[in-house]
């Protein structure tokens, strides 16, 4: 049984062979053929090889097709007979059986016999392969006796320059496309009106605004979201369309949405979020309908957001903290007396409209109370 090979005839991998089997196999990819595909111009090219009898058909599996008469072949394929050779990138491949001896002139990369340099220059616009319909008598292979394979296949032209030019043109086109994409992305990113329009369309109830303090700083989005689904959608959209908009502070900023929902459920209204770029500390601005719920809201924020441990210290309005609605030195409240003495030794308890409280500790300037399972410190001047 005859063994057929596709052999590298020139270049650093000269004489490397692929043993062909009847049927279909691929050239390129992750098979043994990689050994001979070290040329930079074809390292990513893949071809399908189909061996049927004494004919080998090569089909291009990528966008770059074979060339015939300088134009892309519609079928992206070419057939080789015993002794034929082709040019792929910088490599020359020959198809023959294991006993065939390739001409030394071809292995040396010289011109075909009888073909002058002037004739080769005239062939410059033929492309990688000539068409099968070429009727030039000079290109017909010489028939040999006893069925000996032909030594020259002039129908298949060896023109690497055209191939390299093609790959260069494709590469240049790819660079141009990439540059155009980058420019389009820059235009979209630096067009604040476009961003504002899309934000308003996608999140009409979020009240999101786009701004930056200085041209050297990244754009920032401020506002608040009403639910976690909107937050997730906004985050995904920003990552996809405007990844440079997102920074650490902005991410923390948007994560407050769940805490805002908690505050609104507790009676806060018109909640807005603000942050300082220096340390990422957040603050809330809004009307408070149920100030006695503030402490619970504070713990919720402290759990959800990193960096708000000083929140209570920033809250100077003590009306936001739950406390008994009494005055210092009151002698009673309802049925139970409430008395703060000057020596700081007495402990009292009582009730307000919000529930039960006890006095745990009294000092000269402050009192510590337990209220709804929480310990709260008050200045005596504030009571």
pLDDT band for position 329 (50/70/90)? Answer: very low
Q: Sign of the C-alpha dihedral, residues 252, 258, 264, 270?
A: positive
Domain regions of the chain by residue span:
4-168, 189-318, 322-383
Phi, psi of 330 (to 5 degrees): -65, 145
Higher pLDDT among residues 243 and 197, named by residue: 197
pLDDT given for residue 318 in this prediction: 40
pLDDT given for residue 33 in this prediction: 45
pLDDT in tens, 37-94: 444 444 445 667 888 888 888 776 555 545 443 445 555 677 888 888 776 655 677 8
DSSP-based three-state secondary structure for 11: coil
Per residue in 216-245, is it b (16+ CB within 10 Å) or e — as a string?
eeebbbbbbbeeeebbeebbeebeeebeeb
Mean pLDDT of the chain: 54
pLDDT in tens, 117-158: 444 444 443 333 333 444 444 444 444 444 444 433 333 333
Res. 108: pLDDT tops 70: no
Calculate mean pLDDT across residues 348-375. Answer: 62
Q: Which CATH class is domain 189-318?
A: alpha beta
pLDDT given for residue 132 in this prediction: 43
- Architecture (CATH level 2) of domain 4-168: Sandwich (2.60)
pLDDT given for residue 235 in this prediction: 65
pLDDT given for residue 112 in this prediction: 40
pLDDT band for position 230 (50/70/90)? Answer: low
- Going from the C-alpha of 295 to that of each of 60, 323, 378, 382, the distances in angstroms are 71, 11, 13, 17
In Å, how far from its chain's centre is CA 227?
26
**Range in 114-128, 158-172, 179-193 the model is least confident about:** 158-172
Residue 154 DSSP code: T
Res. 201: pLDDT tops 70: yes
**Range in 86-100, 246-260, 369-383 the model is least confident about:** 246-260
Higher pLDDT among residues 306 and 195, named by residue: 195
Tokens matching residue 256? 């407050």
d(CA 128, CA 163): 6
pLDDT band for position 32 (50/70/90)? Answer: very low
Instruction: Please report, for the chain, how many H helices and E strands are present, in that order.
Output: 9, 18
Among candidate residues 97, 90, 91, the one with its CA nearest the CA of residue 56 = 97
**What percent of the chain clears pLDDT 90, i.e. is strictly above it?**
0
d(CA 112, CA 60): 26
pLDDT given for residue 152 in this prediction: 38
pLDDT in tens, 267-326: 444 445 444 434 433 444 444 444 444 444 444 444 333 333 333 333 333 434 445 544
């Amino acid at each position: 049984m005859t063994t057929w090979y596709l052999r590298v005839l020139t270049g650093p991998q000269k004489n490397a062979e692929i043993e062909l089997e009847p049927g279909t196999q691929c050239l390129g990819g992750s098979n043994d053929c990689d050994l001979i595909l070290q040329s930079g111009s074809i390292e990513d090219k893949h071809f399908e090889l189909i061996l049927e009898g004494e004919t080998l058909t090569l089909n291009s599996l990528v966008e770059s097709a074979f060339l015939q008469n300088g134009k892309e072949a519609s079928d992206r394929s070419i057939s080789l007979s015993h002794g034929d050779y082709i040019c792929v990138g910088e490599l020359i491949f020959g198809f023959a059986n294991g006993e065939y001896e390739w001409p030394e002139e071809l292995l040396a990369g010289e011109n075909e016999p009888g073909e002058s340099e002037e004739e080769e220059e005239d062939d410059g616009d033929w492309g990688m392969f000539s068409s099968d319909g070429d009727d030039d008598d000079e290109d017909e292979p010489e028939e040999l006796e006893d069925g000996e394979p032909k030594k020259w296949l002039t129908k298949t032209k060896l023109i690497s320059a055209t191939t390299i030019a093609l790959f260069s043109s494709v590469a240049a086109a790819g660079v141009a496309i990439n540059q155009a994409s980058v420019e389009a992305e820059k235009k979209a990113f630096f067009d604040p009106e476009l961003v504002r329009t899309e934000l308003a369309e996608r999140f009409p109830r979020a009240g999101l605004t786009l701004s930056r303090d200085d041209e050297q700083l990244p754009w920032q989005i401020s506002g608040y979201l009403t639910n976690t689904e909107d937050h997730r959608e906004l985050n995904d959209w920003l990552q996809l369309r405007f990844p440079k908009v997102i920074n650490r502070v902005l991410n923390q900023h948007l994560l407050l949405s769940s805490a805002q929902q908690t505050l609104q459920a507790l009676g806060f209204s018109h909640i807005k979020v603000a942050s300082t770029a220096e340390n990422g500390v957040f603050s809330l601005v809004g009307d408070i309908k149920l100030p006695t719920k503030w402490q619970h809201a504070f713990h919720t924020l402290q759990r959800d957001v990193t960096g708000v441990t000083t929140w209570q210290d920033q809250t100077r309005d003590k009306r936001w903290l739950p406390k008994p609605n009494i005055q210092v030195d009151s002698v009673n409240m309802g049925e139970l007396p409430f008395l703060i003495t000057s020596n700081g030794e007495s402990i009292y308890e009582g009730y307000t409209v919000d529930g039960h409280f006890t006095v745990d500790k009294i000092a000269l300037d402050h009192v510590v109370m337990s209220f709804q399972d929480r310990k709260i410190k008050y200045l005596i001047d504030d009571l």
